[in-house]
Amino acid sequence: MRTDLAIVGSGIAGLYVGLKACSHYKVTILTKGSIDECNTKYAQGGIAAPIGEGDSPELHYRDTIAAGCGLCKPEAVRILVDEAVDRIHDLIDYGIEFDTVNGEIALAREGAHSVPRVIHAGGDATGARIEGTLSRLARKFGIKILERHLVTKILVKGGAAVGVRALDCATGSAREIESRWTVLATGGAGHLFKYSTNPEVATGGGVALAYDAGAIIADMEFFQFHPTALAIPGAPQFLISEAVRGEGGILRNVSGERFMHRYHEDGELASRDVVSRSIASEMSRTGADHVFLDLTHLPRRRVVTRFPNIYRFCIEHGLDITRKPIPVAPAAHYMVGGVSTNLWGETSVKNLFACGEVACTGVHGANRLASNSLLEVLVFGKRIVDRVLEGSLEWGHDKLGADEYIVPIDGGEDPDGEPSVEALRELLWRCVGIKRRGEKLLEAGAVLGGWSERLRKGSGGNDGALELGSMVLVARLMAKAALTREESRGCHFREDFPTESPRWLTHIAFVRGGEGL
């Protein structure tokens, strides 16, 4: 089978790139699940854009740079904020209706934003609204969608990507799809951790594919943990949006005491990494497995209309959030690092692009500013299509930036027990979670290295075995990067190196076949 543009992943990144390109080229989207199952669907917070009175691209730029703790790429952030308004207009043109007040788009404030600038659709249903609209348009405009197709390899010839190999999970047969350009839009890797707000499809597969193809992988130590996932026994780890705190939600410990101002002057509106670590510390101090997010002081109508999905989900699990506080605990949420790209979404492998959570564009630095992720998808997704349309230009990705520090992946030892998804998730939460220490990271690296060797020697070629091998590889990259960075910066926190160090104003990178690999 041949196509012009092969897109791996069917979230907002893949759909948006496909829609922008389909009037010019034949587009094929491959997704390992159904088109409806992706991280976008669960994005409640919204999209940050400097459109409000008193806001500006410059102010949005400064907030993003501050959140990134010295590791943002300024030129990428500048592009993000300058092109934001045009990309919001694209969504409006596609038929997405954002929430309004008195005829103007409503704006909410979230942690580490200096002003209200987050727009929503359907209250806390922003991701689902966008995903549903774009998927309907993709079908309408004839984009070929291959569901339940697990991409197992990026085909590379002469240093350039020429297509993909995929396993049809329904039939068990493999097929190759030739393409002029390939776009990785596979989303994040939250399902590598025991506690996560992500769906099961978020396993980091795009990072493993890119690494295997020879692309540069960067910043894998930076994984953002969301501070407030629902913690009701027996209920899914449902995300309780940061916008809840932006609307006035208060964090209390199990004794009912408000505690955030003991940890940070911004209280509940501190950045996500600060709030996550503060909650973890408070849980440890009180011996509890959760804290409470209290909305009971807010008007009932305001809560129900602003957060209809959260209200409805909690009611279904026996909790009326207008009358009782919500039990919450931190959970893995967003992969900040990923496949290194330039300002046009190009990876270091010719004709291979990356977009969305799988990509490391340099926008987020060491810590993503809330609700910048959906905006990043739109801005850099559009730039990928622009770059493809300007196909006569020379390839623009430097093989390795001057501020990138290549490290090898360590070997391993033969661990007790067979590798499994459950064991992997338990290991990463325990050793590579919110708070890290050198000895735990060494333990994780040794176990993961042993599992990798055991899986390599195995003969399993089914989708489960292939995906587990991919997950172990991504976990090894995370653990090694976290061990290498001997400081605390952004959402990476080392208890044995609890402060920032100017020595580490650099990016840790991996490339297959590089030094020591």
Closest CA to 137 of 90, 84, 184: 90
CA dihedral sign of residues 377, 247, 103, 56: negative
> What's at 381, amino acid-wise?
G
Express the helix, strand and coil content of the chain in percent, nearest 5 each: 35, 20, 45
312 is catalytic: no
Q: How many CB atoms lie within 10 A of CB 300?
A: 14
**Encoding tokens for residue 188?**
């994040």
Cβ–Cβ < 8 Å for 387, 495: no
Cβ–Cβ < 8 Å for 433, 481: no
The 3-state DSSP class for residue 443 equals helix
Instruction: Measure the CA–CA gap between 197 and 293, rounded to whole angstroms.
Output: 17
Residue 266 makes CB contacts below 8 A (sequence gap 6+) with 111, 112, 274
Task: Tell me the HSE value of 301 on the side-chain side, using a 13 A CA sphere.
Answer: 0
Distance in angstroms between the alpha carbons of the first and the last residue of the chain: 34
Q: Which of 78, 109, 129, 272 is catalytic?
A: 272
Instruction: Measure the CA–CA gap between 476 and 430, rounded to whole angstroms.
Output: 14
Catalytic residues, by residue number, are 272
